[in-house]
Amino acid sequence: MDEKRGRKQKKMGVIVSNLTVVGQGYDASSISDNLTPIRYLWPGNWFRGKGSRFDILHDVSAFCKEGEMLLVLGRPGAGCSTFLRLITNQRSTYLDVTGEVLYGGISAKEFEQYSGEAIYAPEEDIHYATLSTANTLDFALKMKTPGNLLPEEKKKDFRARVLDGLLNIFGLVKQRDTIAGNEYVRGLSGGERKRLTISEAMASQGAIECWDCSTRGLDAASALDYAKSLRITTDTLNKTTIATFYQASESIYRLFDRVLVLEKGKCIYFGPASQAKDYFVNLGFDCEPRKSTPDFLTGITNPQERIIRPGFEDKAPLTSSALETVWKASPNYQESLAAAAAYQQDLEAEKPAETFKAEVRASKARGQRKRSQHQANYVQQVRGLALRQLQIFWGNKFDIVTRYASVIIQPSSTDLPFTTCPSMLPESSLEEEPSSLPSSSTLSCLCRRWPCVSLVAPSWRSKSRMPSILHRPFTLPKWCWTFPS
């Protein structure tokens, strides 16, 4: 459809070679107390190290072609989320990153200006509680609407069509005008809020999409529908989709082309999803009847869950290091390296990066710098942020009523003793300005509650900054405009 409308598809595969990510251990953090300043005065603490270092990911190699889906499996702490963050080029929170990540032939350093094309959807559902479902998605669409639409196609009509499509796909039509809500404000349910998170990420229209356990909170049927929607968008738009799931069903597993299994940061299998089960069975592990393949793969390194086949008690690898060694010595590993090398040659021959760069430049709004990460220009960002902040403010009607009712109640209660007992005021005040005290009290309360005072002031409160943390991987504007509470 995009090609019929004059836009080319942004095809962008990913190749990861010998990726190692180093992070800090738990001993690097400490809780401050009253004696902390005194401890810093001791010279011995000045040269103390900042804690231990360990490999979150160790020598991981994988790839995902455009139009394919890669499933990343592993127990909590295996490094699945870190792998997804590195795919979306989020490196600042780690001590060291070695190895190579290529985006259709573009290096990670050069790909920083295209960070909006590799989105990371986190596990948490973070939204403005008083913003409705439609307004949440409409803001994302405003910031990511392509600038190279056809002359007869209006941006407003484009956003309305995409918005209706997202609401229908994820079953949020009836919740169109319902606020997102949170643990304090009643709004969408947990499953509906998760579907809103998925819809907002899809509205960002990235060429590479990384989904971090996005089915948490969804029932089995909704999780399968969500996975099918990923499959459809991947096939029709040639997107590169990488996702991690906990307790994925067999039906979801069969939708993926390749699977990457991690354990303690080490790669113990990467290849076609249809061959993963047979690979571990040949190593000596047994899969129980009616057990799904994802559960079998993630339970390989769990001593309480795995089952060793008879005759393999002394042969089956039982540790993450042993599993990694066996994997790198297997024919499957050599096949994966050969497939990655062949894909690398195809990229050098076809050069999809040139088409990708040209389409990204053409999709930017008029007036936006070509090297900017954002798609909307400065005026569109300011207009969209101002409108969204007014919608957030108007959505919290209870706060509006209580806030401005206090403007009337507080001055009245403060002025009451002076109006009922004139003897409490100085005679000069009664003769010259008898109503100066009530007027000053009302004006003082009104100025404290007037929202325009901090309309454009940045907020450092967590409730306003958390949605901006979610928007950062989508390259939506990071400015956080907020009203006083």
Predicted confidence band at 416 (pLDDT cuts at 50, 70, 90)? low
Q: What is the pLDDT of residues 80-118, one digit of tens each?
A: 999 999 999 888 888 889 999 999 888 888 888 888 888
Is the pLDDT confidence value at 160 over 50? Answer: yes
Tell me, yes or no, whether 400 lies in a domain.
no
Report yes or no on 101 lying in a domain: yes
Residue range 304-355, pLDDT digits in tens:
888 898 888 888 888 889 999 999 999 999 999 999 999 999 888 888 888 8
Maximal CA-CA distance, the chain: 106
The mean pLDDT value for 456-465 works out to: 39
Q: What is the pLDDT of residue 69?
A: 94
Rounded to 5 degrees, what are φ and ψ at 89?
65, 35
What's the rounded Cα separation, in Å, for the pair 112 and 115? 5
Q: In sequence order, what are the residues at sequence separation of 6 or more whose Cβ sits closer than 8 angstroms to the Cβ of residue 122?
A: 212, 470, 473
**Contact between 332 and 271 (Cβ < 8 Å):** yes
pLDDT of residue 87: 92
Residue 379 maps to a domain: no
What is the tens place of the pLDDT at every residue in 272-300?
999 999 999 999 999 888 889 999 999 88
Total domains in the chain come to: 1
Q: Tens digits of per-residue pLDDT, 24-71?
A: 876 666 677 777 777 777 776 666 656 678 889 999 999 999 999 999
* pLDDT, position 427: 54
139: helix, strand or coil? helix
Determine, yes or no, domain membership for 461.
no
User: H-type helices in 421-480, by residue range?
Assistant: 427-432, 436-449, 462-471
Give residues with Cβ within 8 angstroms of 46, minimum separation 6: 40
Per-residue pLDDT band at 425 (split at 50, 70, 90): low
Q: Decide if 336 contacts 61 (C-beta within 8 A).
A: yes
| pLDDT tens per residue across span 210-220 | 998 888 777 88
Helix (H) or strand (E) holding 121, with range, is strand 118-121
Give percent above pLDDT 90 in the chain. Answer: 22
In a domain, 393, yes or no: no
Beta pairing, strands 266-272 & 258-263 = antiparallel
Decide if pLDDT at 438 tops 60: no
Which domain, by its residues, includes 94?
Answer: 14-26+52-363
- pLDDT at residue number 459: 37
For residue 164, tell me if it sits in a domain: yes
Q: Domain holding 108: CATH number?
A: 3.40.50.300
* Domain assignment of residue 8, yes or no: no
- Give the pLDDT band of residue 482 (cuts 50, 70, 90): very low
* Model pLDDT, residue 98: 92
User: How large is the average pLDDT for residues 433-439?
Assistant: 50
Residue at 211 is within a domain: yes
Full-model pTM: 0.78
Mean pLDDT (the chain, rounded): 80
